[in-house]
A and B are shown apart, each in its own frame.
Chain A
Amino acid sequence: MNAPLPTRRDEAWRYADLKALATVWSKLDGPEQIHVPAGESQSRQIAELPVVDGVGVIDLDVTIGDNATFTLYLLAHNADYGRIHVRATLGNGSHFELGGAILGSGQQTLEIVTETIHAEPNATSNQVVRSVLADKATGSFLGRINVARHAQKTDAAQSVKAMLLDRGATANAKPELEIFADDVKCAHGATVGELDKQALFYMASRGLDPATAKKLMLQAFIADAFVSVGDDVVREGLESKALEVMEGLS
């Protein structure tokens, strides 16, 4: 890429691993353009990041036509530094759905950054991100929602939850709302927690060994990100990939 390397002062790069990014920056292409024609629907699943020298960057610039739908399901796990940036611009009556899981361990820095631009009225967006972070991993979600002045009846939701498995792990969640219309629904929530010790003992008292109990709880936690997947096979594929990655976490 010809553009200058971002800095931390740049809000969208606040939690990025800029040192890692610098090593691949010149090799990165600009954002991939995706156009969803009016009335159509498109879906994209990303279960692995394309990684070069430990760095995996995905950048999507999506324009969603009137009454069209774009759904995106992500698993961010296989990079020392992984970043998924999505900019979605919504047409009248369109829908943008994002379900993402960030699964990190070791020293990984993984992030999902979204810019959701409600440019026209009556559009809806729903973003669900779940992070499971072990060791010294950092998982971040930055979600900017921009609602234009005339984009009335916008309904934009974000739900972001992180589960920290170790004391050294870090989760960042930052919603940013810029709303210029008045008839708008924007629900957002962010929480950070740990595995519920009471639940773990309850499960143990029924015979579940610690590893199985942990697996069931993490599986349930991550499942939120993929409940909206319409196709059972696709959903199960994403869930089992997530589970496989989580079984490798300490």
Chain B
Amino acid sequence: MLKIENLHATVGDTEILKGLSLTINAGEIHAIMGPNGAGKSTLAYALGGRPGYDVTAGSASFDGQDLLDMDPHERAAAGIFLGFQYPVEIPGVSNLQFLRESLNVQRKARGEEALNGAEFIKLAKEKAALLKMDMDMLKRAVNVGFSGGEKKRNEMVQMGILDPKLAILDETDSGLDIDALRTVGSGINSIMRKPDKAVLLITHYQRLLEEVKPDFVHVLANGRIVKTGGPELALQLENEGYEAIAEAA
């Protein structure tokens, strides 16, 4: 589904990703862990096409299409969802209006029919309930005045509504309380754990990985994947820290 080869990316004048390769197949859940500043968010942004994150070498394809050639909104319509480490506030634009426009623009780009108001509200209610989020919050402006945890939960409601093929979730677990973590974990499972979907989970904590069991765990350090293993690697990291593992690699 996603094939990244020898990806180099710079932010400003600094090279952050230095030859990263990663392949994700349909049906798989991959976790990426790694020290602060390793380039995890940079990878997410580069895949999302954020301006200022320039890919200088390498390739990335999604379902056989050249991802790097697409505009950010085209990547979304192709089925990529980016869960932000720091979700952005959009004053004055309600969540519901934002999501309905987003979904319908995506559907149109794929040649599907737009959802009408009633159909959309039904879908939004269903996903809000799944993530235990109050519908009133969906009527408020996007992320404005939301707590850190509420913003993360809102990201997952959005993911549920947009129903992507590939979700790249950047520290969706940080800022969540214990119950919310469980809710979000089971939300990710029920939305994304399907044979035709895949997830790239960026996280610092083993805890989320107990809820959303990864098939592969990668260590990203210094702009590259330095080690790949199964779920046991996350445990080993928790016990030994990055330094030992990154050095041994």
Query: A residues bordering B, Cβ < 8 Å?
Result: 196-199, 201-210, 212-213, 216-217, 219-221, 223-224
Contact = CB atoms under 8 A, between A and B. Distances in A.
Contacts of A205: 48, 72-73, 75-76, 81-82, 84
Contacts of A198: 88
Contact of B73 (A199, A210, A219, A224): A210
Given A206-B162, A208-B105, A197 B92 contact: no
A209 B101 CA distance: 10
Chain B interface size band reads 20 to 34
The 8 lowest CB-CB distance pairs between A and B, nearest first, are: A220-B92, A204-B72, A207-B76, A207-B106, A206-B102, A202-B88, A204-B73, A205-B82
B93 interface: yes
B88 A199 contact: yes
B73 A209 contact: yes
A247 B72 CA distance: 22
Contact of A203 (B81, B98, B141): B98
- What's the dominant secondary structure at chain A's contact region? helix
Nearest to B86: A198
B102 A223 contact: no
B77 interface: yes
B175 interface: no
A216 B77 CA distance: 18
B103 interface: yes
B90 A201 contact: no
Contacts of B102: 203, 206-208
B20 interface: no
25 contacts: A196-B88, A197-B51, A199-B90, A202-B84, A203-B90, A203-B98, A204-B71, A205-B72, A206-B76, A206-B158, A206-B162, A207-B73, A207-B76, A207-B162, A208-B101, A208-B102, A208-B105, A213-B73, A216-B98, A217-B92, A217-B93, A219-B92, A220-B90, A220-B141, A223-B92
B50 A216 contact: no
B48 A207 contact: no
B231 interface: no
A74 to B, nearest CB: 20
Nearest to B143: A202
B92 A206 contact: no
B87 A207 contact: no
A221 B77 CA distance: 26
A37 B97 CA distance: 42
B109 A207 contact: yes
B103 A202 contact: no
Contacts of A217: 90, 92-93
Interface in B54-95: 71-73, 75-77, 81-82, 84, 87-93
Nearest to A221: B92
Contacts of B109: 207
Contacts of A223: 92
Given A197-B51, A216-B98, A204 B90 contact: no
Contact of B105 (A196, A199, A209, A220): A209
Nearest to B90: A199
A219 B101 CA distance: 13
B99 interface: yes
Nearest to B49: A204
A177 B218 CA distance: 62
A221 B93 CA distance: 9
A217 B105 CA distance: 16
A207 B77 contact: yes
Contacts of A204: 49, 71-73, 76
A207 B164 CA distance: 11
Contacts of B105: 207-209, 212
A167 to B, nearest CB: 17
Q: Which of B50, B72, B91 has the most CB of A within 10 A?
A: B72
A158 to B, nearest CB: 19
Nearest to B105: A207
A204 B90 CA distance: 13
A98 to B, nearest CB: 20
A203 B141 CA distance: 13
B229 to A, nearest CB: 30
Given A207-B105, A209-B105, 11 more contacts: A198-B88, A202-B88, A202-B90, A204-B76, A205-B72, A205-B73, A207-B76, A207-B77, A208-B73, A216-B93, A217-B90
